[in-house]
Amino acid sequence: MQYVSTRGAAPVLGFADVVLEGLAEDGGLYVPQSWPTLNKDRPRAYAELAASVMQPFVEPDFSADTLLSLCQQAYSTFGQPQVVPLVEIEPNHYLLELFHGPTLAFKDVALQLLGLFFDNILSSRSERITIVAATSGDTGSAAIDGVSKCKNVDMVILYPNGRVSDVQRRQMTTVQSPNVHAIAIDGTFDDCQDLVKAMFNDTAFRNTHRLAAVNSINWSRVMAQIVYYVSASDHFTTPIDVTVPTGNFGNVLSGWIAKQMGTPLRHLVVASNSNDILTRFFENQTMTVSGVTPSLSPSMDIQVSSNFERLLFEMNDRDGSATAQQLQRFRESGTFAVEPNQYAQWIAPNFRAGRCDDAQTLDTIRDIYATSGTLIDPHTAVGVHVARQHMKPDIPMVTLATAHPAKFPDAVEQATGIRPGLPEHLVDLFERPEHTQLLPLDLGTVQKFVNSVAH
């Protein structure tokens, strides 16, 4: 499989190079040259299914045997034998629980595997990379857990001081690996992201340290997430609808790819909180930037959804320069619209959308607890609220449960009066010693720190 950039001006690469590269040289995102078709005979067990779904994307860099053993290793870290169990919460409405990984958010599904891909590729090439990433909480903890065992990786994660939850911070700062550094920045998440972008844009710095990315622009993350859409659909004999609590559009894009590969998915329902740029786009075909308001579902508090670029490239019939021009206009004016024929061909048959504010989020957590006895986290609640607006008789609805309720205990307690407890492997999280430093919001200081820890 070869990969092309969505902006059409970067070298065509194979899978292993795409994993290390992250962002393409022209600023675009890598996508496979074509979408493979799913095997008709699919294994049920999750690791086996994962290897079968992903094999065409990783050839020839990973053999079937190697891929299967990496998948078995990655998913053995999950607390449930089914890895992503499906649970009915009301008639014909199911949760796909994606939060049984080590850090309790769906990002573990991809990042446990990405760490193994890095290690495997880098040790066979005798190379080393440095990961720098910004996090609003979930990406950092999942990346640290997934990558901390890698021998060939140094990692610096920047988080906004005082703006991640206690559970999220401790998941990052209590990891003992000497190659992992969680750094508090005196600023917001956007400030942290700007520092990371500036380090990537400093070509000399980027090349010296071989900077690599673990955010959802990394193709392997999108790829690993395709599997659970196939797994969910394989529980049913008829097509299903899936609702996805959405931020950067990475997760729901994986669902769209699963559909391209032949998974019987009818609609993908994009669920936003009050930061609803995507829902507004699906309603009026125009993408317009506005400010970000903090919500009870912080991992979905986004201004622009970076992975939308991969869908836009398809909507432009895979014309990279048209895509690059459209994005350029978007950056300059803060807005762009798609043509009616693009909407009719790509959006209308595949996507629906809806929004859920904080009051509705709390109501939904309370209601689901009252009617089913299940505690759900605020991100999942956004999904459940929007899913209920889109349910059709005879079409099973699957809502993706993206975080464990114990990861966001304050909102759950506010809604239900019950404070959800951490699972066994994290019960002593609040007794573990923390290792972190506070750095000022200053590029030179942060680069000096990266210099001092990168090998």
Ligand X SMILES: *Cc1c(COP(=O)(O)O)cnc(C)c1O
What is the per-residue binding string for ligand X in 206-235, x denoting contact by CB under 6 A? ----------x-------------------
> Which position among 107, 151, 197, 448 bears the catalytic label?
107
Q: Is 251 in the site for ligand X (CB under 6 A)?
A: yes
Q: With contacts defined by CB under 6 A, how many residues of the chain interact with ligand X?
A: 16
Nearest approach, Cβ of residue 289 and ligand X (Å)? 17
What is the per-residue binding string for ligand X in 171-210, x denoting contact by CB under 6 A? ----------------------------------------
Q: Is 245 in the site for ligand X (CB under 6 A)?
A: yes
Nearest approach, Cβ of residue 167 and ligand X (Å)? 12
Q: Is 248 in the site for ligand X (CB under 6 A)?
A: yes
Q: Is 403 in the site for ligand X (CB under 6 A)?
A: yes
Stretch of 114-122, 243-251, 258-266, 367-375 contacting ligand X, by CB under 6 A: 243-251
Nearest approach, Cβ of residue 225 and ligand X (Å)? 8
Give 62 or 189: the residue with its C-beta nearer to ligand X. Answer: 189
Stretch of 240-248, 287-295, 388-396, 436-444 contacting ligand X, by CB under 6 A: 240-248
Stretch of 67-75, 145-153, 158-166, 239-247 contacting ligand X, by CB under 6 A: 239-247
Q: Is 299 in the site for ligand X (CB under 6 A)?
A: yes
* Active-site residue, 107 included: yes
Q: By CB under 6 A, what part of segment 300-329 binds ligand X? A: 300
What is the per-residue binding string for ligand X in 70-109, x denoting contact by CB under 6 A? -----------------------------------x-x--
Among 61, 97, 138, 154, binds ligand X (CB under 6 A): 138
Nearest approach, Cβ of residue 423 and ligand X (Å)? 16
CA-nearest of 273, 440, 293 to 359 is 273
Q: Is 402 in the site for ligand X (CB under 6 A)?
A: yes
Query: So which residues are the catalytic ones?
Result: 107
Residues that bind ligand X (CB under 6 A): 105, 107, 138, 216, 245-251, 299-300, 379, 402-403
